[in-house]
């Protein structure tokens, strides 16, 4: 372990001790040891022996006791974490919880409480004070107490701190387990394209004639007879022990690489056998046939590729369409891993931090990126997984799946009589040929599961019949949430209509804000709709296949009233209701406001229902199951808002809404024509939720959409007791 990792673990132990015991001497000693380790200009791991640790106490830790030095020695002797950091994040906040003291503390302090302690400006002392006074044990409890303004009343807390915790942004415990904060998927696309562009020359570079023998010729398994199956290199643990920490990746599957520029001397007996096995001059048929000079210069032989890199695939969080990309993962298919590793290390924007087996980890230096988006890029990590062509399919599935998904595949393979690892699928020690990823799932009796749904286990319980049945951009017929210059938009009605025609839409709904959101009053709404009618007449005269619906985004006020009268709402073609203000109200009041919107016959659906934003802990305080049941009862739809800082509902809640029988409307909430292109992101996350065209409102033709609107107007049933 590095000094930084040891210091972080010592701080973690100190915070847990302070939370349980208050400001005690052991907690203070661990904090002092952490600060001392940070100041060292030499690796502490060099001093691993017992007497060396105790000599260090005299120089650096004069107040430390023997038991505290024993913990330090355990940390020094700890092995490096496994290469798959995603598995660490899904197990515990701290990977090194097998240390006796840490394991004992984590039994007393739940994981969500440990994450609460790490919130900025919180610390163990304040977390303990909130626990004793208000019973706060996790971030959800903290949000509720901040919303009720109970935190500011405590000694040592104030309204400013309460506001920071309520509306501030901090990373969850899973996100803090990595070296870099996650990057929003929609903002990481340009970085992925840039890295692929830098790797593309390797697919054209020919292998030099001195290139070592490809690793496919060294694929004999060196394991002894009866040895347990090897884990995938740098990969996931076996499915038999889902709760255990993965061991250091073994090297059974690592290729045997010849030492370059070294010629080993053969023994006398080998030289004698080689001499007598030479062909006689009369037996010309045994002489080797000369190769063309071009092939000799390229080092090519029969069946050997001439390029260093055969294929590059995106993997990991980005391919699974996770909202946050923790590392940029790439699968490199090559027969020359040594040469490819050298080329990757030579890329100017990468700094290789670790190379283990066939996994290369590197930090991305944003200052050396040559893309415009680098100023908004906070920095991150890239991981390159090298594999040979024969194992491409299995490695691609492994590196594009979450740890639970891959473990489930391994378990199903064992039940079916196969052995599955990152190198391929085997039956009775013979490799099963796989041409594409769907072949692997077919052998295991599963439908072809696309990468975007390989993130949890619902895909095994309710798998889609085919990836083609999921929602796609081509099935979207319109956008039902956008704004114009009549409120806070930056595009006129004509400009938004032009973009809709360019996007191939059949209809759009112009839903400007009402007066509570500095939008339109009742007269302004009518004036806006008259303008919509004029544009529609011009569109029909030109013969364009587009209809603009008269819509509105009406605010649900803090006192549970709608911002427009029902007489105005009855004239609209499409109405979305939103909670823009009073978001910190109690659960009871939020429920009253939601009930007002969902029981109103003129409201079509709810915009950004939970009020969440990217990397913000804030959510509206409400019972989602109750809201989902209410929306399903009254036939209302819920929105997946494609605003880049929102994506609300997220894909998990879209999945829950689908289980309640609720239709989803994928809308961009555009304030300019350019933002209408963000719909493709919403479609991608809808695929991740397993939505089909039947689950999405704006896949309907205009006639069916208006028929659905008519059914909503005929369902004004009040809430039942």
SS3 331: strand
Decide if pLDDT at 350 tops 60. Answer: yes
Give tens-digit pLDDT for 660-677. 999 999 999 999 999 999
Both structure tokens of 199: 């790797």
Both structure tokens of 622: 């409400």
Return the half-sphere exposure (C-beta side, CA atoms, 13 A cut-off) of residue 103: 8
Both structure tokens of 454: 């390989």
Binned at pLDDT 50, 70 and 90, residue 513 comes out as very high
| pLDDT, the chain, mean | 77
Residue 235: what pLDDT? 38
Q: Looking at mean pLDDT, say which of 31-40, 109-118, 685-694 comes out highest.
A: 685-694
Binned at pLDDT 50, 70 and 90, residue 55 comes out as low
Peptide bond into 649 cis (omega under 30): yes
CA angle, corner 105, sides to 104 and 111, nearest 5?
120
Please report the DSSP string for 547-590 in residue order: EEEEEEEEEB-TTS-BSS-HHHHTT-SEEEEE--S-TTS-HHHH
Is residue 645, in this structure, part of any structural domain at all?
A: yes
Burial of residue 58, with CB atoms counted within 10 A of its CB: 0-12 exposed, 13-18 middle, 19 or more buried? exposed
Chosen domain end from 176, 202, 231: 176
Decide if pLDDT at 460 tops 70. Answer: yes
Chosen domain end from 146, 176, 206: 176
Decide if pLDDT at 234 tops 80. Answer: no
Is residue 523, in this structure, part of any structural domain at all?
A: yes
Give tens-digit pLDDT for 133-166. 888 887 777 877 887 888 888 887 888 777 767 6
For residues 385-398, average pLDDT: 91
Residue 258: what pLDDT? 41
Better-scored residue on pLDDT, 563 or 223: 563
Adjacency order of strands within the sheet including 547-555: 478-479, 507-513, 547-555, 574-578, 605-606, 637-641, 664-667
Is residue 250, in this structure, part of any structural domain at all?
A: no
> Hey, CA dihedral for 599, 600, 605, 609, is it positive or negative?
negative
Which of 482, 557, 572, 575 lies closest to 517, judged by CA?
A: 557
Binned at pLDDT 50, 70 and 90, residue 292 comes out as very low
Q: Which helix (H) or strand (E) holds 421?
A: strand 419-421
For residues 596-602, average pLDDT: 93
> Hey, CA dihedral for 465, 470, 475, 477, is it positive or negative?
positive
Decide if pLDDT at 506 tops 90. Answer: yes
Could you give the C-alpha distances from 671 to 512, 548, 580, 624, in angstroms and in order?
9, 16, 16, 28
Is residue 527, in this structure, part of any structural domain at all?
A: yes
Could you give the C-alpha distances from 190 to 11, 195, 199, 562, 682, in angstroms and in order?
36, 9, 14, 42, 18
Decide if pLDDT at 228 tops 80. Answer: no
Better-scored residue on pLDDT, 464 or 89: 464
Range scoring the smallest mean pLDDT among 417-421, 459-463, 574-578, 678-682: 459-463
Pairing of strands 328-334, 380-387: parallel
For residues 490-497, average pLDDT: 93
Decide if pLDDT at 275 tops 90. Answer: no
Quick check: 309 and 332 in contact, CB under 8 A? yes
- Report how far residue 191's alpha carbon sits from residue 316's, in angstroms, rounded to the nearest whole number: 14
Pairing of strands 507-513, 478-479: parallel
How far the first Cα of the chain sits from its last, in Å, is: 61
HEC string of 613-655 equals CCCECCCCCCCHHHHHHHHHHCCCEEEEECCCCCCECCHHHHH
For residues 534-545, average pLDDT: 92
Which of 167, 119, 184 lies closest to 646, judged by CA?
A: 184
Better-scored residue on pLDDT, 49 or 260: 49
Decide if pLDDT at 604 tops 90. Answer: yes
Q: What is the CATH number of the domain that holds 685?
A: 3.20.20.140
Is 0.85 surpassed by the pTM of this model? no
- Report how far residue 555's alpha carbon sits from residue 549's, in angstroms, rounded to the nearest whole number: 19
Decide if pLDDT at 721 tops 60. Answer: no
Range scoring the smallest mean pLDDT among 44-48, 388-392, 530-534: 44-48
Among residues of the chain, what percentage have pLDDT more than 70? Answer: 73
Residue 216: what pLDDT? 42
Better-scored residue on pLDDT, 575 or 28: 575
- Report how far residue 633's alpha carbon sits from residue 628's, in angstroms, rounded to the nearest whole number: 9
Range scoring the smallest mean pLDDT among 140-149, 476-485, 685-694: 140-149
Decide if pLDDT at 492 tops 90. Answer: yes
For residues 214-227, average pLDDT: 41
Binned at pLDDT 50, 70 and 90, residue 78 comes out as low
Q: Looking at mean pLDDT, say which of 190-204, 220-234, 250-264, 604-618 comes out highest.
A: 190-204
Binned at pLDDT 50, 70 and 90, residue 119 comes out as confident
Decide if pLDDT at 66 tops 80. Answer: no
State how many domains the chain has.
2
For residues 87-97, average pLDDT: 37
For residues 627-652, average pLDDT: 90
Residue 500: what pLDDT? 94
600 C-beta neighbours (distance < 10 Å), count: 20
Both structure tokens of 260: 């370059």
Decide if pLDDT at 592 tops 90. Answer: yes
Range scoring the smallest mean pLDDT among 48-52, 88-92, 123-127: 88-92
Is residue 166, in this structure, part of any structural domain at all?
A: yes
Decide if pLDDT at 171 tops 50. Answer: no
Both structure tokens of 131: 């626990």
Which of 247, 258, 267 lies closest to 339, judged by CA?
A: 258
Pairing of strands 324-325, 328-334: unpaired
Is residue 34, in this structure, part of any structural domain at all?
A: yes
Q: Which helix (H) or strand (E) holds 362?
A: strand 359-364
Quick check: 529 and 564 in contact, CB under 8 A? no
Residue 146: what pLDDT? 81
The parent domain of residue 110 ranges over 3-176
**CA 546, chain centre distance (Å):** 37
Among residues of the chain, what percentage have pLDDT more than 90? Answer: 31
For residues 48-69, average pLDDT: 65
Binned at pLDDT 50, 70 and 90, residue 390 comes out as confident
- Report how far residue 1's alpha carbon sits from residue 255's, in angstroms, rounded to the nearest whole number: 26
Range scoring the smallest mean pLDDT among 65-69, 107-111, 479-483: 65-69
Decide if pLDDT at 179 tops 60. Answer: no
Q: Which helix (H) or strand (E) holds 709?
A: helix 702-713
Residue 254: what pLDDT? 40
Return the half-sphere exposure (C-beta side, CA atoms, 13 A cut-off) of residue 17: 18
Chosen domain end from 176, 194, 225: 176
Backbone angles phi, psi at 420, to 5 degrees: -120, 130
Better-scored residue on pLDDT, 113 or 647: 647
Residue 404: what pLDDT? 86
Q: What is the DSSP letter of 706?
A: H
- Report how far residue 39's alpha carbon sits from residue 393's, in angstroms, rounded to the nearest whole number: 47
For residues 554-576, average pLDDT: 92
Which of 486, 513, 508 lies closest to 497, judged by CA?
A: 508
Binned at pLDDT 50, 70 and 90, residue 174 comes out as very low
Residue 240: what pLDDT? 37
Binned at pLDDT 50, 70 and 90, residue 481 comes out as very high
Is residue 199, in this structure, part of any structural domain at all?
A: no
CA angle, corner 640, sides to 635 and 643, nearest 5?
145
Query: Please, what's the b/e burial string for 196-222 (b: 16 or more CB within 10 A of its CB; e: otherwise)?
Result: eebbeebeeeebeeebbebbeeeeeee
Is residue 205, in this structure, part of any structural domain at all?
A: no
For residues 515-539, average pLDDT: 92
Q: Which helix (H) or strand (E) holds 431?
A: strand 430-432
């Amino acid at each position: 372990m590095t000094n930084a990792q040891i210091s972080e673990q010592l701080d973690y132990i100190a915070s847990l001790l302070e939370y349980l015991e208050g400001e005690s001497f052991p907690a203070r000693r661990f904090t002092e040891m952490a600060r001392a380790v940070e100041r060292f200009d030499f690796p502490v791991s060099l001093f691993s022996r017992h007497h060396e640790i105790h000599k260090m106490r005299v120089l650096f830790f004069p107040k430390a006791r023997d038991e505290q030095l024993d913990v330090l020695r355990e940390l020094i002797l700890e092995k490096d974490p496994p290469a798959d950091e995603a598995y660490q994040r899904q197990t515990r906040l701290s990977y090194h919880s097998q240390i006796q003291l840490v394991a004992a503390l984590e039994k007393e302090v739940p994981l969500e409480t440990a994450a609460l302690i790490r919130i900025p400006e919180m610390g163990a002392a304040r977390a303990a004070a909130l626990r004793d006074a208000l019973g706060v044990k996790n971030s959800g409890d903290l949000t509720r107490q901040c919303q009720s303004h109970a935190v500011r009343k405590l000694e040592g807390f104030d309204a400013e701190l309460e506001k920071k915790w309520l509306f501030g942004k901090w990373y969850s415990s899973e996100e803090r387990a990595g070296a870099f904060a996650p990057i929003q998927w929609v903002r990481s696309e340009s970085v992925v394209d840039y890295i692929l562009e830098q790797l593309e020359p390797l697919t054209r570079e020919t292998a030099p004639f001195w290139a070592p023998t490809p690793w496919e010729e060294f694929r004999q398994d060196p394991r002894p007879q009866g040895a347990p199956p090897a884990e995938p290199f740098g990969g996931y643990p076996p499915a038999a022990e889902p709760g255990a920490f993965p061991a250091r990746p073994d090297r059974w599957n690592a290729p045997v690489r010849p030492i370059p520029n070294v010629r080993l001397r053969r023994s006398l007996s080998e030289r004698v056998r080689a001499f007598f096995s030479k062909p006689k001059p009369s037996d010309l048929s045994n002489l080797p046939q000369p190769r063309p000079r071009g092939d000799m210069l390229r080092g090519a032989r029969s069946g050997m590729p001439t390029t260093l890199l055969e294929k590059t695939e995106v993997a990991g969080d980005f391919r699974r369409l996770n909202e946050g990309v923790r590392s940029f993962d790439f699968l490199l298919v090559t027969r020359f891993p040594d040469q490819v590793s050298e080329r990757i290390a030579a890329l100017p924007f990468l700094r290789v931090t670790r190379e283990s087996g066939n996994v290369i980890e590197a930090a991305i230096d944003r200052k050396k990126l040559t893309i415009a988006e680098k100023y908004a890029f906070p920095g991150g990590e890239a991981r390159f997984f090298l594999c040979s062509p024969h194992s491409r399919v299995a490695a691609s599935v492994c590196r594009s799946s979450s740890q639970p998904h891959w473990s489930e595949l391994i378990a199903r393979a064992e039940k079916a009589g196969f052995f599955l690892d990152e190198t391929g699928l085997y039956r009775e020690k013979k490799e099963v040929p796989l041409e594409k990823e769907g072949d692997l799932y077919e052998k295991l009796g599963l439908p072809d599961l696309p990468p975007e749904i390989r993130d949890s286990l619902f895909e095994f319980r309710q798998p889609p019949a085919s990836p083609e049945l999921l929602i796609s951009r081509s099935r979207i017929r319109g956008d039902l949430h956008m704004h114009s210059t009549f409120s806070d938009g930056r595009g006129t009605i004509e400009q938004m209509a032009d973009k809709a025609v360019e996007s191939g839409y059949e209809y759009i709904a112009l839903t400007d804000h009402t007066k509570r959101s500095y939008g339109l009053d009742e007269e302004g709404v009518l004036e806006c709709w008259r303008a919509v009618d004029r544009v529609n007449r011009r569109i029909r005269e030109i013969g364009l296949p587009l209809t603009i619906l008269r819509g509105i985004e009406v605010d649900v006020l803090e006192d549970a009233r709608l911002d427009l009268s029902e007489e105005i709402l009855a004239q609209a073609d499409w109405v979305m209701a939103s909670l823009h203000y009073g978001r910190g109200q109690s659960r009871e009041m939020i429920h009253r406001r939601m009930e007002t919107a969902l029981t109103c016959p003129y409201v079509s659906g709810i915009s950004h229902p939970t009020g969440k934003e990217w990397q913000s802990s804030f959510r509206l305080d409400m019972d989602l199951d109750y809201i989902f049941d209410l929306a399903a009862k009254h036939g209302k739809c819920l929105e997946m808002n494609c605003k880049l800082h929102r994506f609300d509902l997220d894909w998990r809640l879209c999945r829950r809404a689908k289980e309640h029988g609720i239709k989803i409307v994928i809308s961009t909430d555009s304030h300019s024509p350019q933002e209408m292109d963000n719909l493709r992101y919403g479609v991608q996350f809808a695929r991740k939720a397993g939505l089909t065209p039947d689950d999405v409102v704006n896949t309907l033709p205009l006639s069916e959409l208006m028929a659905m609107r008519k059914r909503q107007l005929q369902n004004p049933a009040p809430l039942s007791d």
